[in-house]
Structure formats: structure tokens, C-alpha cells
Amino acid sequence: MKQQIVILRSAIIAGICISIGCVVNLRVGGVAGAVLFAFGLLAVVYYKLKLYTGTAGFIRSHGDWSMLGTVLLGNIMGCALTALACSYAQPDILPPDLAIVQSRLAKGPFACFLLAIGCGFIMTTAVQFGREGKFLPLLFGVPAFILCGFAHSVADAFYFLAVPELYSIDLLIIYIAEVLGNFAGCNLYRWVIAKQDHINP
């Protein structure tokens, strides 16, 4: 139980870090906003915080599943706290935020699932480098998934929660599709290529 609380607290802070990236992306936009978003993931990796897309590709045992659920819950809680504060204190972020959420709704759950796979693959790759002390790939990976229009389930938790007027069953289904898509993308490499299949350069 104590371990779960520690994980939850770490995940909440991770959700806040990603939310900060969301805010700067909404306020700045474009390539600059996408690059500055990387601060959130850099903070998560540097402080070794628990982030869903930084954890889903590395789970190994049966017990990891409950841990992954706790991580996602904590991430969403961190996003909810930040969305509540920023939507009140920085209402200028709401129009671009609204556009992102409406775009997700227009695409529908299957398209968002596919877009989330791309994000999951990029994030696991970037985090793997970060775990080895190589942070430069994070600066490439984050702008890459944003500029590709890929869906990050933790970032979208912030975007979705900041606009309560769009809360609906359809939005919830899209969010679940993104969570599943991120999981698939995070595990794509190890599902397709087993350790024994690695090819030496």
C-alpha cells in the first residue's frame, strides 16, 4: 500500500509536468511550442517520475499491471489539478485547447487509437535514451509526436479536462482508445522484435 502511494504521488507530479508542457504549447504554438513542450518530459525523466507513456513499454511482470493503472490515475489527477488552475488563471489557453479537443472528436476513436500508437512508439524510444543519460532524443521525440499530430494520452487528459463543456461519452471513448493506442505503441518494438532477433550493425 505504501508503495502504491509513493507511485501515485510520483505520477501526480509527472502529470503536472506534462501539463506544463501542454500550457506552453497552447500559448506559443507551432514548432517553438512543440519544442518547449519537451520540458515536461525532460523533467519526468530527470526526476524519474512515473508517466504512463514512460512506463507502459517497460512493464515485465504480472504485478506491473496494477502499478500501471496507478500511474495512469496519478497522471490524470495531476492533469486535472493543472487544468483547473490554468483554465482559471490563463483563460487565453482555452480557444486553442478547444480546437485540439474538437479535432479529436472529429477524428473519432479509431483514428485517435492509430495516432496514439505513433506517439507511444516515439515516447518509449525517447525514454529509453533518457534512461541511458542521453537527453537529446527527448528534444527530438516530443516535437516529433506533436508536429505529426499524434495523440499522447496524458497530454490529452489535460486538454480534455480543461474544457468541461465538451465532456461526453464520445470523448471518454476517444480517451480510452488513446490509452490503448499508447500502450500498443509503447510495446511495438518488443512485440515485433524479440531480444534474440536483434541484428548487429
Q: What is the mean pLDDT of residues 117-125?
A: 95
pLDDT at 23 over 90: yes
How many domains, in total, are found in the chain? Answer: 1
Alpha carbons 146 and 36: distance in angstroms, whole number: 11
Please, which pLDDT band fits residue 137 given cuts at 50, 70 and 90? Answer: confident
Alpha carbons 114 and 14: distance in angstroms, whole number: 24
Task: Look at residues 39, 19, 37 and name the one whose alpha carbon lies nearest to residue 28.
Answer: 37
The predicted pLDDT at position 63 comes to 61
Cα(first)–Cα(last) distance of the chain, in Å?
45
CB 59 within 8 A of CB 141: no
Alpha carbons 37 and 20: distance in angstroms, whole number: 8
The parent domain of residue 158 ranges over: 2-197
The predicted pLDDT at position 195 comes to 59
36-89 pLDDT, tens digit per residue, is: 999 999 999 999 999 999 999 888 755 688 899 999 999 999 999 999 999 999
pLDDT at 21 over 80: yes
- The CATH number of the domain holding residue 87 is 1.20.1080.10
Q: Global pTM?
A: 0.92
Residue 70 sits at the vertex; the CA angle it makes with 114 and 147, to the nearest 5 degrees, is: 30
pLDDT at 197 over 60: no
